[in-house]
Amino acid sequence: MATGIPGKFKNNNVTQRGTALPPLRLEYPGKKPVTEILETPPGQYSPSNTSCGGTNRLYHADNLGVLAALAQDVTIAGKVRLVYIDPPFATASAFHSREQNHAYDDHRVGAEFVEFLRERLVLIHRLLADDGSLYLHLDERMAFHFRVILDEIFGEQGYRNFITRKKCNPKNYTRKTYGNVADYILFYTKSNDYMWNRPVDKWCDLQAKASKEYQYIDKKTGRRYMKVPIHAPGIRNGATGGIWHGMMPPPGKHWQYLPSKLDEMDARGDIYWSPTGNPRRKIYLEDSAGIPVQDIWMDMRDAHNQNIHITGYPTEKNPDILTRIIKASSNPGDIVLDCFSGSGTTLITAAQLNRRWIGVDCSEEAIKTTLHRFEHGSARMGDFVNNHPQETLLPSFKVSDFTLFTKKNKSDSYTVADANTNKTTTASLCRERKALRFQQQAKKKRQVYVHS
């Protein structure tokens, strides 16, 4: 397979002759200047009755005002390491939960949708740390518009990947088109110097593939290895383009290393010589962390069989996506933001990975689902059919270190269904936190006594 060699010429807005072209823009009626968006009045919020005074924040509000308020908060602005958002996809539909409660409307389409999301993205760019990353999840309706919009906001140099995700099993009912099983995640970073923990699929999870790829065994050491070329495309005039071991590199190629380094590798036994005298480099399995993750994600379908655990919120995403993204683009202690947080997939995954988090959603059903998930986990998909979701909850990872904010002066009564009694409890999270605080204070007192 022939692929182009990545070159230095990367700027699409400069011709080969160096003439600057105006950056590509998406124009549509109603597009606001960036300055106007940055002047969006900040919303005002106060902790709700369900709030427990924790560090992390969950806002029940429209995210535009929240983002504008966060942009003025010195503890947050410029400090968010990672943003993942999964907004409405411009489907012109209304979404309901498994229990048929109205969750949210997705009625904005066309230019109205583009401007709605662009305004939020301009503010998100402000909130990101200089080494921060944005992942925007969309489908084929709007992903390509936002490739252009995000180039405008982050600059072309901020573009990293256009990830294709297989979202579901094959659809056999599409007769006159190809089945649609993909959606897309656009990955941008605020600068070229960004936080990145390179994700790999570990060999220990890919035993069969490992033995197939690393099919040779070194007779002396017993180490598994594969053979790869020792030359690379491109002509060089220096030592790597010259003679090594009495031979020149193949036409149009050069040695990957200086001849002196190749001699060292040969002396160590790291070069394989074919019966016809062709050298190949040995790559050992034990030196490889795994297969670096590529930009097609096939193994992260949303709920696709009866054993998967879900909350029942519509369009809820597979937590494995969030685990991969959060591990790749943040470290423990970093702030992760999802301002279309839905059932709280990003938030609970961030909490499990010891990140701080901020979630926002304007849907009451989303907030109730998130609070329920924080306290009780999620249920096996099959159990929604039998209407007994309580019996098979995931081993709970309780999230209680957060404050729930609502719009100032809005009366609220967030009820969380109790999984065991099926009654609703308004403040069980608070009770739990109070008990924890009490235990900690008691422990401190005991420690003081011991020391004095």
Give the binding site for ligand SAM (CB under 6 A): 62-63, 86-88, 104, 313, 315-317, 340, 342-343, 345, 360-363, 366
Q: CA–CA distance from 289 to each of 137, 321, 322, 340 (Å)?
A: 28, 20, 21, 34
Least distance in angstroms from the C-beta of 49 to ligand SAM: 21
Cα–Cα distance, 348 to 84 (Å, whole number):
13
Between residues 325 and 429, which has the closer beta carbon with respect to ligand SAM?
325
Between residues 52 and 347, which has the closer beta carbon with respect to ligand SAM?
347
Between residues 63 and 329, which has the closer beta carbon with respect to ligand SAM?
63
Least distance in angstroms from the C-beta of 110 to ligand SAM: 16
Minimal CA–CA distance to 376: which of 338, 327, 419?
A: 419
Least distance in angstroms from the C-beta of 252 to ligand SAM: 48
Cα–Cα distance, 165 to 184 (Å, whole number):
6
Q: Are 422 and 389 in contact (CB under 8 A)?
A: no
User: Reduced to 3 DSSP states, what percent helix, strand and coil does the chain have, rounded to the nearest 5?
Assistant: 30, 25, 45
Least distance in angstroms from the C-beta of 343 to ligand SAM: 3
β-strands 128-138, 80-85: how paired? parallel
Between residues 86 and 375, which has the closer beta carbon with respect to ligand SAM?
86
Between residues 315 and 415, which has the closer beta carbon with respect to ligand SAM?
315
Cα–Cα distance, 433 to 345 (Å, whole number):
22
Cα–Cα distance, 46 to 59 (Å, whole number):
9
Least distance in angstroms from the C-beta of 67 to ligand SAM: 9
Least distance in angstroms from the C-beta of 337 to ligand SAM: 12
Minimal CA–CA distance to 92: which of 105, 79, 83, 82?
A: 105
Residue nearest to ligand SAM (CB): 342
Least distance in angstroms from the C-beta of 89 to ligand SAM: 7
The tally of CA atoms less than 13 A away on the side-chain side of residue 277 is 5
